[in-house]
Structure 1
Amino acid sequence: MSSASDRPNILDALCPSRDVFVDLADKWVLLMLVCLREGGAQRYSELHRSLGGISRKMLSQTLRTLERDGLVLRSVDPRSTPPLVLYSLTELGGELAEEARALCAWTEKRTTVVHEARAAYDRRQHAGQDV
């Protein structure tokens, strides 16, 4: 926390909120939260299919991080063979997934504008007009 205040300040490198933010700002975390929000509880293989492009290693790491942070619940039904393992959002995870969905909606809405800005920037760079 900042010495000037006892309130959390995510811009302060020493504030504990920064550590949480860094984990949550990962692209796979945000996409997984939205995936679980929209698809409900899912098995590992279902999540892997839903999250196009994620490696199995990254999927496992992300699930562990989210479970540790209290955002995802891993439940096992040992009565089935093999045991049925499902991943679902906790209440806290659902709250964050709502916020992540808003970011996704903005991204889907403004992608064209961002791509146009990128193209204009690249043209300036290529022309040697670094602004």
Structure 2
Amino acid sequence: MNPDDACPIRDILNRFGDKWSILVMVQLHRHRVLRFSAIGKSIPDISQRMLAVTLRTLEADGLVKRKVYPEVPPRVEYQLTTMGESLIPLIRNMVEWARENRGEIIRSRNAYEGRE
């Protein structure tokens, strides 16, 4: 693990450091296939612009597949790729770790900020 820009993990982890990527992936895993509007409804505080940017980024990385149906109006569906699905166990582990440690982290933050 190199601390410089050539570190192979840095670029990959930066993709998941945003607020939305993991949430979008979890929804796609949960529902298997979703349309844009359904993803937006499942994450109510994401803007349409941020959802579009997030989906494009995940698609560019090969984690999400976009399928356009030649209909009027066009129907577009999203689903995780095999590589995207392979991240789900890791995301589950992070969620479980966060659940187990959330109270201690909050106590530590409060102590650091002088609230305890």
Unaligned runs of 5+ in 2: none
CA distance in 2: counterparts of 1:34 and 1:105, whole angstroms: 14
Q: Which structure is higher in RCO with an 8 Å CA cutoff and minimum separation 6?
A: 2
Match of 1:52 in 2: 44
Deviations 1:30-62 (A, max 9, x none): 121112112221111111111232111111111
Moved over 6 A (4+): none
CA distance in 2: counterparts of 1:11 and 1:34, whole angstroms: 29
CA distance in 2: counterparts of 1:86 and 1:71, whole angstroms: 14
Match of 1:69 among 54, 57, 61: 61
SS for the counterpart of 2:45 is coil
2:86 pairs with 1:84: no
SS for the counterpart of 2:44 is coil
| CA gap 1:110/1:64 in 2 versus in 1, 3 angstroms | same
Alpha-carbon offset, residue 83 of structure 1: 2.2
TM-score by length of 2: 0.85
What is the number of residues matched between the two proteins?
116
SS for the counterpart of 1:14 is coil
2:84 pairs with 1:97: no
TM-score by length of 1: 0.76
Unaligned runs of 5+ in 1: 1-8, 127-131
| CA gap 1:83/1:90 in 2 versus in 1, 3 angstroms | same
- Root mean square deviation of aligned Cα: 2.0
When Rg is computed on C-alpha atoms for both structures, the one with the higher figure is 1
**Aligned AA (2:5):** A
